[in-house]
Amino acid sequence: MRVTFDLLTSLSNDGRRVVADAIGDLDYPVGGVRTAAELIDVYTGRAPATSWSVLVDHALAGMFSIGQTDQYLGLQTSIFIAPRHRHRGVSHIINRAAITAARDVGVDLMAGVHVDNQASLGAHDSLFVSDCPRTISPSGKYVRMRISDGQLADGETDRRLAETIATQLAEIKSTWPEEVFRFHAWE
């Protein structure tokens, strides 16, 4: 299985529509939005250099973005894998590459997950040998995991994917405020 990325900003409007149509409605709201079309707008608006469509063996399989949280409190991943491509290890390949890239570039990377999102919690838990550092939001609804500090379980890193992500992280590192690149616990 080969996972590759295309920057969403490199796609034409028609290309973005193809991605949105392939993914459709989001079964679990990501970042408060409900359709892939809306999510593409959020991703490209907030994080144009670090938002990608995900292809598995050249077939559209999802989207992945690394962006700032609302209050500039750190760099956070957002991942959506289309239902027919789930349970194949795609999220693990992407997150492992993203964590490797973050470490290579020297930035902290977080995941923010709703406490009821069993799929995402399960996918993050099984990526590490033990719980990575985490805090719970004041509302009790979200877990913030410092994934770049987690001890990864044994497994291969897709170096080519990690380099793709690292190149873009290095690019934004010089343009966004330094505090974006450091982990912030919920207070």
Ligand X SMILES: CC(C)(COP(=O)(O)OP(=O)(O)OC[C@H]1O[C@@H](n2cnc3c(N)ncnc32)[C@H](O)[C@@H]1OP(=O)(O)O)[C@@H](O)C(=O)NCCC(=O)NCCS
Residues that bind ligand X (CB under 6 A): 28, 30, 79-81, 86-92, 113, 117-120, 122-123, 126
- In three-state form (DSSP H/G/I as H, E/B as E, the rest C), the secondary structure along 58-102 is CEEEEEEEEEECCCCCCEEEEEEECHHHCCCCHHHHHHHHHHHHH
Please identify, using beta-carbon distances, which residue of 106 and 129 lies nearer to ligand X.
129
Torsion sign (Cα): 127, 81, 112, 94? positive
Q: Is 165 helix (H, G, I), strand (E, B) or coil?
A: helix
The nearer residue to ligand X, 92 or 103, going by C-beta atoms, is: 92
What minimum distance in Å lies between the beta carbon of 10 and ligand X? 22
DSSP letter at 152?
B
**Cβ-contact 91, 81 below 8 angstroms:** yes
Least distance to ligand X from the beta carbon of 124, Å?
Answer: 8
Sign, CA torsion 149/152/156/158 = negative
- Of 42 and 119, which has the nearer Cβ to ligand X? 119
What are the backbone dihedrals phi and psi of residue 166, each rounded to the nearest 5 degrees, phi first?
-60, -40
Least gap, CB of 174 to ligand X (angstroms):
27
In the complex with ligand X, which residue's Cβ is closer, 15 or 122?
122
CB-nearest residue to ligand X: 122
Please report how close the Cβ of residue 127 comes to ligand X at its closest, in angstroms.
Answer: 7
Judged by beta carbon, residue 16 or residue 112, the one nearer ligand X is 112
Q: How far is the CB of 85 from ligand X (least distance, A)?
A: 7
